[in-house]
Amino acid sequence: MESRFRSRSNLQICAGLEPFPHSMYIRIMVLRTQRYTGRVAQDLPTSSSRFAVSQLKPVLKTLLIPAIALAPFALTLACGGDAAPGVDDNHDGLPDDLGKFVDANHDGIADSIDINHDGKVDGPAVDTNGDGKPDGLALDTNCDSRYDSVDTDGDGLPNLKTSREKIVVPSGCTYVNPVMSNQGGGSGGAPGTAGAPGTAGAPGTAGAPGTAGAAHGGSPGTAGAPGTAGSGGGTVGSQLGGNPTYQGSGDSTDRYAEGDVYRNGVGYKFIANGWGDNWQSHGIAWKGTSFTVKTFAGAQGANYSPAGYPSMFCGLYSKKQSDTCGLPIAISSAKSIKTGWRWKANGNTGQYNAAWDIWLGNNGTLSSYLMVWLRDPPGQQPAGAAATAGATITGLPGTWTIIKGSVNGLPIVNYVQPEGKDLGELEFNVLDVYNDAIKRGYSLPGSQIMAVAIGYEIWNGPVTNLVTEDFYVDVK
C-alpha cells in the first residue's frame, strides 16, 4: 500500500488567502504519495457599514416579501450589536464567519438578491467568499431577529450556518422560508432530523489484518471547534441532529470489528479498521451512524501510515457493502448526493484527521478517490501536491486548498481545511465537489459514486472520547 502521507517538516509554505473562520470551511483530502507542504493565508473581509432601521425602509418597500419574512432583516441590522462578542464584531447584523452583506453602491443599505433566479427579490445579499459578489441570502432560522445562516442554492434553506454561537430553535418558532413565501408557498421547513458526522474513508480491503488500506485522510467537520448545533438539536433545512431513528449497535475492542447499522431505515456499515502496522488497541462503541472512539493507542507506521481508521460508510467501500442506501449510483443518474457529518473532538488535539473519503469507480471497481478534510492535524498532511490555494467551491463555505496526486496508481483529489480551522459540522452535495474538480481539469475517472465514508485517520495516540454524533448520505 502506497502511503498517502508525509511529515510536515518537509513542507513548503504556499502564499495565498487565509480562509474564513471554521464554520466556513470544508476539506477534501486524499492522503496519497506526495504531501502538501503549505498552508493557506487569506485576509478576512470585514464590513464597515452599519445599518439603521431608517436606512432599511427603501429596501423593505422594494423586496415585495411578506413582512414576517423581512422582519429579521430590519431588526437584525438595527440590533446587530446585541450579538455576543466574537459573533458579529463588525456589527453589521451578520455573524462574521458567514461573510458580509453586499453594498455595491456604497449607500449604506444592504443590496437584495434573487437567490433562485425567479425574477423576485428574496432578501438581503451576502458575500460568503470575500470576492465582493453576492452569492447567498441571509436567513434568520430561529426567530431571534438575528441572522444565523445563509442560503446559497436558492431553496430558502440554510447551506451555511454560523459556528460562532449555537442556533437554538425555540418551540414557538415557525420559520418562514423567504423563497417559498415569494412563490405563494408555505411557511418553510421545520428543523430537519438527520445526519451524523462522517469520517474520511481509506482505501484498502479492511477487515483482515494488514489488508485495510490507509485512509485517504479527512478531518472533523465543524466540531472540534464548537458545532453549529448541540447534540440532538436541529436547524431549519439541516438533516443533522433532531431525533433520527438508529438501529444496530455494538461495543468492541476487536481490531476489525464491524456492524450493519441503520439511520431512519437507510443502511450503513461501521468498521473499526485498525489496519496500521503500529496499531496497539482501541475501544469503540457505535449506535446507528453515531460512534465513539472511547480509547485508541497506536503509532505512525512506515511511509507515514496511520495506526487505524475507524469509519462509517454508505455504499461499496473497502470490499464491503452496506445495506441499501442508494450507492453505488451512476453519476449521470444522480440528481444529488447530499451528505452531512457532526463530530466532537472533546479535547483531542493530536495527530488525527476527520475527513470524507469518497470512492469513484466502474461496475464496482475502484478507479479514483475524492476527499474532504474537516481537520488537518499538526505534523501530517495529505499526499499529493498543492494544485490550487484559496479556491471557492459551490456549496462549500469559505476557501479551500486543493491537493491532487495519486495513490496506488489511482488519482486522488483532496479539498482541505487549514490546520487550526477545524470544522465540527458540514453538509454538502458530493456532486458539487466532484463537478468542481472536473471543471478544473483534475482527473477523477469513474462513472459511479461507489461509496461515501467518514472517519478519523489516527496517526499517534492516545485518543479518548472522540465522538461522531451523526452522519448521513441522502441520494436522489
Burial of 41 (0-12, 13-18, 19+ CB in 10 A): middle
Contact predicate 375/422, CB 8 Å: yes
Cell of residue 257, nine digits: 470489528
Contact predicate 351/378, CB 8 Å: yes
Question: How many Å apart are CA 467 and CA 343, to the nearest integer?
Answer: 6
Q: What is the pTM of this model?
A: 0.56
Among 448, 462, 168, CA closest to 328: 448
Residue type, position 186, single letter? G
| Owner of C-alpha cell 433566479 | 117
Contact predicate 423/222, CB 8 Å: yes
| Owner of C-alpha cell 494544485 | 387
Encode the chain (476 residues) as per-residue pLDDT tens digits: 334 544 333 332 222 222 222 222 233 333 332 222 222 222 222 222 222 322 333 333 333 333 333 333 333 333 334 556 778 887 778 898 899 988 888 877 788 898 888 777 888 999 998 888 899 999 988 887 788 888 888 888 888 888 888 888 887 777 778 877 544 333 233 333 233 333 333 333 333 333 333 333 333 333 333 333 333 344 457 899 889 999 999 999 999 999 999 999 999 999 999 999 999 999 999 999 999 999 999 999 988 899 999 999 999 998 899 999 999 999 999 999 999 999 999 999 999 999 999 999 999 999 999 999 999 898 888 878 888 988 999 999 988 889 999 988 999 999 999 888 899 999 999 999 999 999 999 999 999 999 999 999 999 999 999 999 999 999 99
Q: According to the model, what pLDDT value does residue 438 have?
A: 97
Residues 6+ positions from 184 with CB-CB distance below 8 Å? none
Among 333, 321, 324, 356, CA closest to 428: 356
Residues 6+ positions from 53 with CB-CB distance below 8 Å? 74, 77, 78
Question: How many Å apart are CA 191 and CA 178, to the nearest integer?
Answer: 16
CA distances from 399 to 40, 96, 165, 427, 439 (A): 9, 15, 21, 16, 17
Pairing of strands 365-375, 410-416: parallel
Report the first-to-last Cα separation within the chain, whole angstroms.
34
CA 31 to centroid of chain Cα atoms = 18
Question: How many Å apart are CA 405 and CA 442, to the nearest integer?
Answer: 10
Q: According to the model, what pLDDT value does residue 386 have?
A: 83
CA angle 258, 366, 299 (to 5 degrees): 50
SS3 372: strand
In whole angstroms, how large is the CA radius of gyration of the chain? 21
